[in-house]
Structure 1
Amino acid sequence: MDRLIFKLLFIGDSGAGKTSIILRYADDCFSSNAVSNVGIDFKIKTIEIKGRKVKLQIWDTAGQERFHAIAYPYYRGAMGIILVYDVTNRRSFENLSTWMRNIDEHASEKVEKILLGNKCDMEAQRVVSRQEGEAVARQHGIPFLETSAKNNINIDLAFHNLTETILLDIALERLTAKAEAAKEVKRLTAATDADSKWSSWCCYS
């Protein structure tokens, strides 16, 4: 059985909680003093979905504008992208359009995406409604969840759903390849049969 390695890339504004989400998922820890990432870092976690073991390479990118150029090469090879904004920071939400453009320009057309509205535990400080997040997700045709790294809300679910979707993509791709191969075999067999009949007719004549 093939060994599966999925590269997942986190993007979004600095301070949205990307690093905290990754640490919660990979190490089951949270620190309110977590320092925003200033470059590129990654964690590895192996999980099992539908009887398949999948190694996740989870890449954490800095959200600051000056680090965008560093992040661009890391879009290559990404099978899943987790786009994060902070529900208590409207600017991080408004900047989603810029991040989506970056995805369109630098990532594969086949990459799976999910949108996370993080820090949903901070209801008193919320400035972006759930409905607004859902609307953006619908606009781009991607799944949406509100999460809290602090209270571990929907963190596992986000990774599970994204990984499962990638697995389904791979399965569909393989089925499609097999179907195309079967069609090609059928075409070549028919062509060979036709050549054989033509040769037999020529010799008989």
Structure 2
Amino acid sequence: MNEEMNGGGVGNEEEYAPEKIDYVFKVVVIGDSAVGKSQILSRFAKNEFCLDSKSTIGVEFQTRTVTIKTKVIKAQIWDTAGQERYRAVTSAYYRGALGSMLVYDISKRQSFDSLARWVEELRANADNSIVIMLVGNKADLVDQRAVPTEDAVEFAKEQGLFFAETSALSGDNVDKAFFKLLEEIYGAMCKKSLESANGAEHLTALKGSKIDVIAGSDFETSEMKKLSTCSC
């Protein structure tokens, strides 16, 4: 895993000519309003954090190009608004997404309790092989924690999700979470291509291996079952 370029919006592609980009991965960031989706994206794409950030209206996207397993991958990350009144607008943007970052606020239990509904909506609108990373944001608010890490790990196990706790404010684990998501998308794509080449007509799910939960320094690292990957 190796970062090569950092960009936002249309991106700054000086180091990579268009023909040198091997893959473009569309990722959607979803979750309730005010959980820090836009801040996580801004931290990953531009290494910025805005203290007076306003709620996203509709959909915005930013890009960052990275190198994963020798392949140049352009991550096109869509920031979908969490407000209910925009749900009908943003649902169309699930189509074509290879991965999703599902975000809740560790200091707001309600944002965690909404996750099952978000997972249901995501799986109803996205491809059934989409890779999902569950993210507990605002891990820096230790004294205000309302969602125990164990609860999130259990939910991730039940739903077959990857899991990380992050802090967009400090930047802790943000890159790790995005890189893990992109690596798993790449692995799933490799597996799908391999099975297709071997004559598999229907790939409905990827199952099998274990991964490490991406943990912060203040809690233990665990393992959970998740999608199998391949090297290609």
Please state which band the TM-score falls in when normalised by the shorter chain: 0.7 to 0.9
- Per-residue CA deviations over 1:136-163 (Å, capped at 9, x if unaligned) read 1111011111000001111011111111
Seen in structure 2, the aligned counterparts of structure 1 residues 110 and 77 have a Cα distance that, compared at 3 Å, is same
Question: Secondary structure of 2:199's partner?
Answer: helix
Partner residue in 2 for 1:105: 124
AA in 1 matched with 2:89: I
The structural deviation recorded for 1:51 is 0.5
Task: Quote how far apart the aligned CAs of 1:36 are.
Answer: 1.5
Paired residue for 1:52? Answer: 71
Query: Kindly tell me: are residues 2 and 176 of structure 1, through their superposed partners in 2, closer, same or farther at Cα, counting changes over 3 Å?
Result: farther
Q: Give CA deviations for 1:104-131 in whole Å, capped at 9, x if unaligned.
A: 2111101110100000001011111111
Q: Which structure has the highest helix share of the two?
A: 1
1:17 corresponds to: 36
Over the aligned positions, Cα root-mean-square deviation in angstroms equals 1.3
Of 189, 195, 198, 1:176 maps to 195
Q: 1-10 or 115-124, which moves further after superposition?
A: 1-10
Task: Judge conservation of contact 2:57–2:81 (CA < 8 Å) in 1.
Answer: yes
1:169 deviates by: 1.2
Unaligned 5+ runs, structure 2: 1-19, 201-232
- Of 40, 65, 70, the residue aligned with 2:89 is 70
Aligned sequence identity (%): 39
Aligned residue among 5, 16, 32 for 2:51 = 32
User: Structure 1 length normalisation: TM-score?
Assistant: 0.85
Counterpart of 2:135 (choices 101, 113, 116) is 116
2:125 is equivalent to residue 89 of structure 1 = no
For 1:99, give the aligned amino acid.
W
- Between structure 1 and structure 2, the one with the greater Rg is 1
Which one-letter code corresponds to 1:114 in the other structure?
A: M
The TM-score normalised by the length of structure 2 is 0.76
Distance 1:51 1:134 in 2: 31
Structure 1 residue runs of 5 or longer lacking an equivalent are 182-205
* Number of equivalent positions: 181
